[in-house]
Structure 1
Amino acid sequence: MRASAKIFWILGAFFLVVAIAYGFVTYRYEPLGIETVGFPAVLALAGLGFMIAMTLTIASRKHELDASDDLDGEVSANSGVQGSFSPYSWAPLWVAIGAALCFLGVAAGWWIFAFGVIFAIYGVLLWVLEFSSGQHAH
């Protein structure tokens, strides 16, 4: 986890430097000034890199060394349970349909976007409450 955090700190710093250089170059040489799509996109990449790095750094402080942090570790050290997943869940399908309709709605018509939001909310609620058996269940 620490190695991954270092990689994302480096990526965040790299994209920040690239964003500053890109903003300077487009401001200097473009007739309309700073380019309005690329500059914020590269800044967003830097922000995402820093957010992931911060999350991994905080997680590595709270938990013991991961198998990937051991210099003499083997690949088989990461084997075992990786999480609890429902193999026959329909919730990801509803979320994907909702996301697809939202993207289609932005391109084709805003009324389609509303249906996408409904499908996405239904899918997310179904996914979150999938293993819930009620407030007072034992």
Structure 2
Amino acid sequence: MKAEAWIFAITTAFFVLVSPAYWFVTGDWTGTSALVMTTLLAAMVTLYLGFHAAKMDPRPEDRKDAEVADGAGELGFFPPYSWWPLWCALTLGVMVYAVALGLWWLLIIGGALGAVALSGLVFEYYRGEHAH
């Protein structure tokens, strides 16, 4: 993860330079505060990756003497197709629409359907074709 830590460190340095320059050029508080928060967020990710990179064994990507065969093997679990994120997004859309129009009854219906959709997403791998 050392490479990722360096990428975020460079990004943090960029935002450290850009944030005051933006303030001096525009004088805009909104954009400046957004850039400062972006700087702090990038710094937080940099510190996280840097601390964990120091504690981990080097990955093949981090070693200079690594070969392509060193990275072979299983990379992890990647879930197959799923329709549940679509239903979760649609019910959230219905709930936001209900709040925007002030329709409390539609908010309740969207919340109930959203609970069903979220339960389906969470428990997707406990039943059906992809059960573990």
Normalised TM-score (structure 2): 0.64
Shift of 1:120: 6.5
Give the unaligned 5+ runs of structure 2.
128-132
CA distance in 2 between partners of 1:35 and 1:78 (Å) = 47
Shift of 1:54: 2.0
What per-residue deviation string (whole Å, max 9, x for no partner) do you get for residues 70-103 of structure 1?
113234533432322331433333344456x28x
2:67 is matched with: 74
2:15 is matched with: 15
2:83 is matched with: 90
2:53 maps to 1:60: yes
Structure with higher helix content:
2
Give the unaligned 5+ runs of structure 1.
28-33, 134-138
Shift of 1:2: 0.6
Normalised TM-score (structure 1): 0.62
When Rg is computed on C-alpha atoms for both structures, the one with the higher figure is: 2
Aligned length: 120
Q: CA RMSD in A?
A: 3.4
CA distance in 2 between partners of 1:127 and 1:21 (Å) = 45
